[in-house]
Amino acid sequence: MSVAINQDEHERINAHEYPGTRQLCCQCNAPTDKCEDDSMYTDDGIGPLCCDCYSLRSQEKERDILKDKLADIKHDASIEHGEDAAL
Ligand SMILES: [Zn+2]
């Protein structure tokens, strides 16, 4: 019979093995310089992340949002000019 470690237990072990600020970034494995109280997670719950990875992910997200907006604008413009909307 296998014993599954649940998330709480996993966090407890991490807190024991990596006390204080020794929290590692889940993207690049660098120390995040953060402790449990101020660890950084994305809106999607990905983390903990270091400052670099966190800002990188926010930038990517912002870029995706801008891309969507640009696609909408292009779509609207193509309708205005009577072009095929599928383009
Ligand atoms: Zn990182």
**CB contact at 8 A, 40 and 32:** yes
Start-to-end CA span in the chain (Å): 57
The predicted model scores a pTM of 0.53
Rounded mean pLDDT for each run of 10 residues along the chain, 87 residues in total: 72 66 82 78 89 91 95 90 61
Return the residue matching tokens 């413009």. Answer: 77
Ligand 1 centroid–CA 35 distance in Å is 14
| Residue 58 lies inside a defined structural domain of this protein | yes
| Residue 36 lies inside a defined structural domain of this protein | yes
Ligand 1 centroid–CA 53 distance in Å is 4
* DSSP track, 6-60: PHHHHHHHHHHHS-TT-PBPTTT--B-S--GGG-B--TT----B-HHHHHHHHHH
| Residue 85 lies inside a defined structural domain of this protein | no
Count of the separate structural domains present in the chain: 1
pLDDT of residue 54: 92
Ligand 1 centroid–CA 36 distance in Å is 16
pLDDT of residue 24: 87
| Residue 28 lies inside a defined structural domain of this protein | yes
pLDDT of residue 3: 63
Taking the C-alpha atoms of residue 84 and residue 48, their distance in angstroms, rounded to an integer, is 45
Look up the domain containing 34 and give its range.
Answer: 7-80
| Residue 1 lies inside a defined structural domain of this protein | no
Taking alpha carbons only, the member of 22, 28, 62, 20 closest to residue 47 is 28
